[in-house]
Structure 1
Amino acid sequence: MLALPRRFAPRLRALRPYSSSTPRFPCVEAHATRESRLASSFSSSSGPEPPYARPNPTSYNVFRSKKPLPLTYHSSSLPTFDVAYETWGTLSPARDNVILLHTGLSASSHAASTSSNPTEGWWEKFIGPGKPLDTNNFFVVCTNVLGGCYGSTGPSAIDPETGVPYATHFPILSIFDMVRAQFRLLDDLGVDKLYASVGSSMGAMQSLAAGLLHPERVGKIVSISGTARSTPSSIAMRYAQRSVLMADPNWNNGFYYDAVPPHTGMKLARQIATITYRSGPEWDARFGRQMRPPPPDTPVAEPRVPALCPDFLIETYLDHQGEQFCLKYDANSLIYISKAMDLFDLTFPALQALRLPEIPLSESQSTSTIDFAPPHSTSHSKSHPPPTNPPPHLSDLAQGLTLLANTPTLVLGVQSDILFTIEQQREVVDALRMAGNDRVVYYELGGVWGHDTFLLDVLNVGGAIRGFLS
């Protein structure tokens, strides 16, 4: 038998009591406690849906459409639907100063504080007098998307035909369906043309889709940290989120509204998502390899023994993010909306296959008719020269974006973004220019905030928006 050097013996004796004791997992115990607490709360009552931390219904407006909404992937229509929305600023007499602000995946319509809801919104520092979306000049409208759970019709809403939540009987949605619902709201408000369509992340997808569906009704487009077609890497990350969520037994094929919600799956899904929202350099600067503080009753001289629960600060951060989110958003909404993001594709073959009635696509068009258009003198680019030999897929995208050839467009990307990479922003810019758009403004931002830069960098993101809208 191999004998260990004597210098290892003291350490092995110190570890032996730990290896023979019953293992404890505080993180698992804490989660079990939450599960038990939720189970007891649902045993005495069965509300129409779980206690998500949704906004107070009196703090937003609701547009209710009784006219059926055609859907991209279904032959039938959504018979009725609601769209929750909030507004800031004053609508001009000519109704020509409207900015439609599109949200990311899980945001509500509460983009900034209002008199009825003074809590800070998700884009608080960007909306208001003198801010990038200047309410001294513009009337800003933000909606909760169709499929959401913050006032708009989604899987947690009551199906009028059954009297119970739609759950997974809700139809598969597209980004185009969400935008159509928003334009129904604009029709109700008497808005014929938007001054601008503005969006970040999934909102950038909606912003581009709005211009394609209604090029005559959109004056300008702002696309921040978005894409014109979902990439395999982003699809993979969202699939992983849906997989862990749907593997939660509480998900129950989507029918959980009278029982304990799938909070474990939601927590894990949020942890995966959070990893994609920031960047490695930021994690290094913010957390490094720092360990969480030991329990207060730990003897100072006792060596730290690693656990299978969070030891590193980055682990505690992800754990906190998951805990904070897992009961604040409807699991089915996350599944449906993330799937809509996966399906988003503005290349000509994809649009032609969808046969969207609002987009007059010519089947006789050939991708060979799309050539690179040199940038006009008003087209700005930072750190990105135009392509000399564009790949075939770029021609397909340029052909899909031909209806945006005359729409001034701001595209803004972040070099540290790993979810919607800088290559995707460059692709949108190149395709627009190849389609003949000589009014493309493009900026690349540095920094370490990754995808969340659009929420945090008021100076640079806000400055680009302000300059473009002026």
Structure 2
Amino acid sequence: MFRLPRLAPFACRRQFSSVTPRFPCVEAHATRESRLASVAASPAGPEPAYARPNPTSYTTFHATTPLPLTYSQYPLPSFDIAYETWGSLSPAKDNAILLHTGLSASSHAASTAANPSEGWWEKFIGPGKALDTNKFFIVCTNVLGGCYGSTGPSSIDPDTNAPYATHFPVLSIFDMVRAQFRLLDHLGVDKLHASVGSSMGAMQSLAAGWLHPERVGKIVSISGTARSSPSSVAMRYAQRSVLMADPNWNNGFYYDALPPHTGMKLARQIATITYRSGPEWDARFGRQLRPLLSDASASTPRTPALCPDFLIETYLDHQGEQFCLRYDANSLIYISKAMDLFDMTAPALDALHIPEANGAVLSASAAPDATRPHVTSHSKSHPPPTNPPAHLPALAQGLAPLAKIPTLVLGVQSDILFTVEQQREVVDALRLAGNDSVVYYELGGVWGHDTFLLDVLNVGGAIRGFL
């Protein structure tokens, strides 16, 4: 019988327990917590850590007429909408473009005299650009539920003189758009030249046409959807879950204490994975490791750590760090939930009982004709769906109020959050509903969902031509 040689006791044992492990990434969280705790102990509290924009950089519209809400029996008694503008409103007030933001953006889409810092769509707004300020009057708001000047969970509840926190009502995309149209009424804009939006902004853009088809001249929907897919709902649920698991979240009542910074950081890391694409990360990071510390010996084999080793890990860590104290956690929860709830199929819309619909949702007997020829308008198109999803007629029925509004739909082939299949679905439903003025483009590239922020040539060119 074969036997292994007998070794002396403990001859092969390494004294792992004698080495105290260090986790710099965890220690960084503790350091931030300590710093925030010292700020929270001061009379000013921790709120300045959110780094909200200077209120003098935007204009605030205060509405005193109650705003009906989709999911609440009680209206919002009053509310504020922060907004910025570029260009000049024409004497006829017919050149206004309402620019809708993504989930966490402020109204600062481009630099202004009041705020010369670069905006989130800086290269798309200005003379001769996609949104040409020589021709158009651009209006961009911070959405209802946000934290950059508009009323949201961090705003003061007039009944309690304390932040609403999670006493704030659940919102819908339609509520956000309804508040924006109150602003347009205030500005004297009866009809928009166009409603333009990307990501969640594309949802708002479609919702604007649905709520007020008579007040929207054109629609631009970039990397959006007419109904949130299960995969995007799952991703946003994961973000909310890690945020709400942070003990500092405290059921949303953290405004006089420590903010849930760790949960926000992790939520942003999950979100970043959906915003950019695998091909870009392959080219940008590959499997490169972060540089070793300067005192490490090049001749010593690298020992993997349980903290970030790969460059892609350090990138996600940086993205989370940059965001975790810049945005209100409750706003992220409320607005991402509104995105999940968005569904423009006829049964879903009919169940909402939105007053502005004015009977816009067709009855089943008036549903679009599924045998209607597939129209290929002046755009790059995809073939008519050979096996259309079962919900397509219901979506076409829901989008029927948009049948007379020229619409541009842009999709990105590397987008994993709002896939090109969802863009094609919007196009097919609009055409099935009778819209013969749908322009559709699919863009290549490796930037994924964030292409709408980065591809000035193709995204900007398509918008400029359409408008």
Fold match, TM over 0.5?
yes
For the 8 Å contact 2:154–2:330, the answer to whether it is kept is yes
Counterpart for residue 145 of structure 1:
143
How far did residue 371 of structure 1 move? 2.3
Equivalence map 1:57-72=2 (5 Å): 57-72=55-70
SS in 2 for 1:223: strand
Secondary structure, in 3 states, of the residue corresponding to 2:391? helix
Matches of 1:69 and 1:150 in 2, distance apart?
Answer: 19
User: What residue is the counterpart of 1:414 in the other structure?
Assistant: 412
Partner of 1:392: 390
Mapped pair 1:457 → 2:430: no
Mapped contact 1:200–1:224 kept (Cα < 8 A): yes
Shift of 1:62: 0.3
Counterpart CA distance in 2 for 1:357 and 1:421 is 31
- For residues 341 and 187 of structure 1, the distance between their equivalents in structure 2, rounded to whole angstroms, comes to 25
Is the Cα–Cα contact under 8 Å of residues 50 and 258 in structure 1 kept in the other structure? no
State the 1:427 CA deviation. 0.2
Which amino acid letter does the alignment assign opposite residue 243 of structure 2? L
Q: In the alignment, what sits opposite 2:157?
A: 159
- Give the length in aligned residue pairs: 461
Contact residue 48 and residue 165 of structure 1 kept, 8 A:
no
Contact map agreement 1:372 1:433 (CA 8 A) in 2: no
SS in 2 for 1:180: helix
Q: What residue is the counterpart of 1:7 in the other structure?
A: none
1:371 paired with 2:385, answer: no
1:433 corresponding residue in structure 2 = 431
| Matching residue of 1:8 | none
Q: Which deviations, in whole Å up to 9, do the C-alpha atoms of 1:200-247 show, x marking residues without a partner?
A: 000000000000000000000000000000000000000000000000
Return the offset for 1:40.
Answer: 1.1
Q: 1:97 to 1:252 in 2, by over 3 A?
A: same
Distance (whole Å) between structure 2 residues aligned to residue 62 and residue 394 of structure 1? 40
What 5-or-longer segments of structure 2 have no aligned partner?
Answer: 6-11
Q: What is the alpha-carbon distance in structure 1 between the residues aligned to residue 40 and residue 183 of structure 2?
A: 36
| Contact 2:101–2:142 (CA under 8 A) maintained in structure 1 | yes
1:365 partner letter = A
Distance 2:108 2:49 in 1: 19
Displacement of 1:361 after TM fit? 4.0
**1:375 shift after superposition:** 4.6
Taking the aligned partners of 1:165 and 1:179, their CA distance within structure 2 comes to 23
Equivalent in the alignment of 1:310:
308
Deviation at 1:338, TM superposition (A): 0.1
2:207 is equivalent to residue 213 of structure 1: no
Deviation at 1:46, TM superposition (A): 4.8
Q: Distance in 1 between matches of 2:340 and 2:331?
A: 14
2: CA distance, partners of 1:425 / 1:302: 51
**What is the correspondence of 1:168-317 to structure 2 with a 5 Å cutoff?**
168-317=166-315
- Return the letter of the residue paired with 2:443: L
Which residue does the alignment assign to 1:342?
Answer: 340
SS of 2:380's partner is coil
- Please name the residue that 2:8 is paired with: none
Amino acid across the alignment from 2:41: S
1:413 maps to amino acid: G
Given that 1:156 and 1:166 are in contact with CA atoms closer than 8 Å, whether structure 2 keeps it comes out as yes
Displacement of 1:358: 1.2
1:270–1:377 CA distance, 2 compared to 1 (3 A): closer
Question: In structure 1, the residue corresponding to 2:81 is in which secondary structure?
Answer: strand
Q: Is the 2:165–2:330 Cα contact (8 Å) retained in structure 1?
A: yes
Kept in 1: contact 2:36–2:46 (CA 8 A):
no
- Greater displacement, 268-277 / 46-55: 46-55
- Distance apart, 1:41 and its partner CA: 1.1
How far has the Cα of 1:445 moved from its partner? 0.4
SS at match of 1:351: helix
Tell me the residue number matched to 1:333: 331
Greater shift, 40-49 or 318-327, is seen at 40-49
**2:347 maps to 1:324:** no
Deviation at 1:266, TM superposition (A): 0.1
Gaps of 5+ in 1: 5-11
Contact 2:227 2:344 in 1 (8 A): yes
**Normalising by structure 2, what TM-score?**
0.95
2:240, 2:148 → 1: CA distance? 20
| Identity level (%) | 80
The equivalent of 1:125 in structure 2 is 123
Distance 1:403 1:52 in 2: 40
**Aligned counterparts of 1:30 and 1:403: Cα–Cα separation in 2:** 52
How far does residue 389 in structure 1 lie from its aligned partner after superposition? 4.7
Residue 175 of structure 1 and its aligned partner are, at CA, apart by: 0.1
**SS of residue paired to 1:443:** strand
Q: Is 2:63–2:80's contact at 8 Å kept on the other side of the alignment?
A: yes
**1:429-450 CA distances to partner (integer Å, 9 max, x unpaired)?**
0000000000000000011100
State the Cα distance separating 1:387 from its structure 2 match: 2.0
Q: Cα offset for 1:377? A: 6.3
CA distance in 2, matches of 1:249, 1:141: 38
Helix, strand or coil at the partner of 1:392: coil
Normalised TM-score (structure 1):
0.95
Superposition RMSD on alpha carbons, in Å? 1.9
Does the CA-based 8 Å contact 2:360-2:400 persist in structure 1?
A: no
CA distance in 1, matches of 2:223, 2:317: 26
Deviations 1:273-322 (A, max 9, x none): 00000111111100000000011111222211000000000000000000
| Residue 164 of structure 1: how far off its partner (Å) | 0.5
Given that 2:245 and 2:263 are in contact with CA atoms closer than 8 Å, whether structure 1 keeps it comes out as: yes
CA 1:263–1:139 in 2, change beyond 3 Å: closer, same or farther?
same
Amino acid at match of 1:371: A
Change in Cα spacing, 1:95 to 1:259, as seen in structure 2 (3 Å) is same
Stretch of structure 1 that moved more, 51-60 or 408-417: 51-60
Indicate conservation of the 8 Å contact 2:362/2:400, yes or no. Answer: no
